[in-house]
Amino acid sequence: MKNTTSAGRWVRDVIKQQSSYHVPPAGDFIKLDAMENPWPMPPEINQAWRESLNDLQLNRYPDPQAADLVPRLRTVMAIPDQAGIMLGNGSDELIQVILMALAGDQVTVLSPSPSFVMYEVLAGACGLNYAGIPLQQDFTLDMPAMRSAIESHQPAVIFLASPNNPTGSAFQRSDIEEILELAPGLVVVDEAYQPFVKQGKDFMSRLVDYPDLIVMRTLSKVGLAGIRLGLIAGHPDWMKELDKLRLPYNINSLTQATACFAIDHWSVFRAQIENICTERDRVYSALSSMQGIQAFPSDTNFILFRVSGNRAENIHAQLLKEKILIKCLHRPGTALENCLRVTIGRPHENDAFLSSLTSLL
């Protein structure tokens, strides 16, 4: 009888070289590390939500087309009638589907860097070449470098997270439009944080102008991270091909019903988003006034900031001791050297973070 597995023989080298996506346990910490909406569903609608689930037949597969949910999403996100829609189990599944559809030996995926880590992780898992084009010092797009990279790599897909994670700011509209004109393939504008952006900066309405544009959204940031629902919208030709790789029944019945309920009560979540934006501006102002802190402007529900004196890891560790969990992004020699990222929480959570940080500085 064998006493070892054959994993070392058969698992691809590219997978062996990767690390699992680690999520630290939160316990009773103040959790400001994962860009979640800190507000739970208000009690006045929580009971109604629970009652809305009573008639679900969990012995049956979910509606594969999410027929009740898709029209609601089209309305609340102002998705053009001409655009097709595909739902995913979070944005990660949709990124994976796009990359699987385009996979090939000489295919390149291009994105600014730093950006959402799963573009690179999933590109590697699919055997694709990944080209990360460094952002400028102020975390704006380096357009000469982007033009050169598009010309030399001829990427099958370009991912543009706008607003960008982890830097927090939206890219210039004119820069994205230029990339759409130059790109030889698909351009995915990832608008996960669009709810926190001032009007006029999104690209959903531009789907009618660019046949190779896909806009990606999620409900995770608005207060529904637990149901894992993302979507892409784009030309029906793209949606038809990508849908062939979508796993059957990928959006479960509980997710579909909960999302429908939430959209029917969208004003509640809109009010929470407004509160988060107000708190974001307050926290940004407080961070900007601290000596030894460089805070970067944010169009999201988080703030990236740099700590002077090579102290990022130490401050992160000290905050953990005080049961405050933020994200340490420090990587020596990179654009994120000595950087930390804090998600905007409820007022008392933000106060606790600011107070602890002030004392540590």
Q: Which residues are CB-neighbours of 274 under 8 A, at least 6 positions away?
A: none
Domain membership of residue 1 (yes or no) is: no
Same domain? 174 vs 136: yes
Residue 326, φ and ψ in degrees, nearest 5: -120, -175
What CATH number has the domain bearing residue 339? 3.90.1150.10
272-301 tens-digit pLDDT: 999 999 999 999 999 999 999 999 999 999
Same domain? 149 vs 106: yes
Give burial (CB, 10 Å; 0-12/13-18/19+) of 171. Answer: buried
The predicted pLDDT at position 74 comes to: 98
The predicted pLDDT at position 200 comes to: 66
User: The pTM is what?
Assistant: 0.94
Same domain? 176 vs 325: no
Answer with the one of 264, 293, 309 that is the final residue of a domain: 264
Same domain? 68 vs 111: yes
Q: What is the DSSP letter of 296?
A: P
Domain membership of residue 51 (yes or no) is: no
Domain membership of residue 353 (yes or no) is: yes
Domain membership of residue 134 (yes or no) is: yes
Strand 30-31 to 324-325 pairing: parallel
Domain that holds residue 225: 58-264
Same domain? 322 vs 193: no
Instruction: Report CA 73 to chain centroid distance, whole Å.
Output: 18
- Quickly state the pLDDT bin for 15 (edges 50, 70, 90): confident
What CATH number has the domain bearing residue 109? 3.40.640.10
Same domain? 142 vs 190: yes
The predicted pLDDT at position 28 comes to: 84
Portion of the chain with pLDDT greater than 70, in percent: 98
Same domain? 154 vs 234: yes
Answer with the one of 264, 282, 299 that is the final residue of a domain: 264
Same domain? 189 vs 133: yes
- Across the chain, how many H-helices and E-strands are there? 13, 13
Q: What is the DSSP letter of 224?
A: I
Domain membership of residue 53 (yes or no) is: no
Domain membership of residue 49 (yes or no) is: no
Same domain? 154 vs 186: yes
Domain membership of residue 52 (yes or no) is: no
Give, for 283, the enclosing helix (H) or strand (E). helix 266-288
Rounded Cα distance, 340 and 337, in Å: 9
Task: Name the domain count of the chain.
Answer: 2
Q: Which residues are CB-neighbours of 344 under 8 A, at least 6 positions away?
A: 32, 38, 276, 279, 280, 283, 301, 302, 303, 350
Same domain? 97 vs 24: no
**Greater confidence, 174 or 10?**
174
Length of the chain: 361
Domain membership of residue 282 (yes or no) is: yes
Same domain? 29 vs 68: no
Answer with the one of 215, 236, 264 that is the final residue of a domain: 264
Same domain? 212 vs 320: no
51-83 tens-digit pLDDT: 999 999 999 999 999 999 999 999 999 999 999
Q: Does the structure show a pLDDT above 80 at 118? A: yes
Rounded Cα distance, 330 and 328, in Å: 6
Strand locations in 104-151, DSSP E?
A: 108-113, 129-134
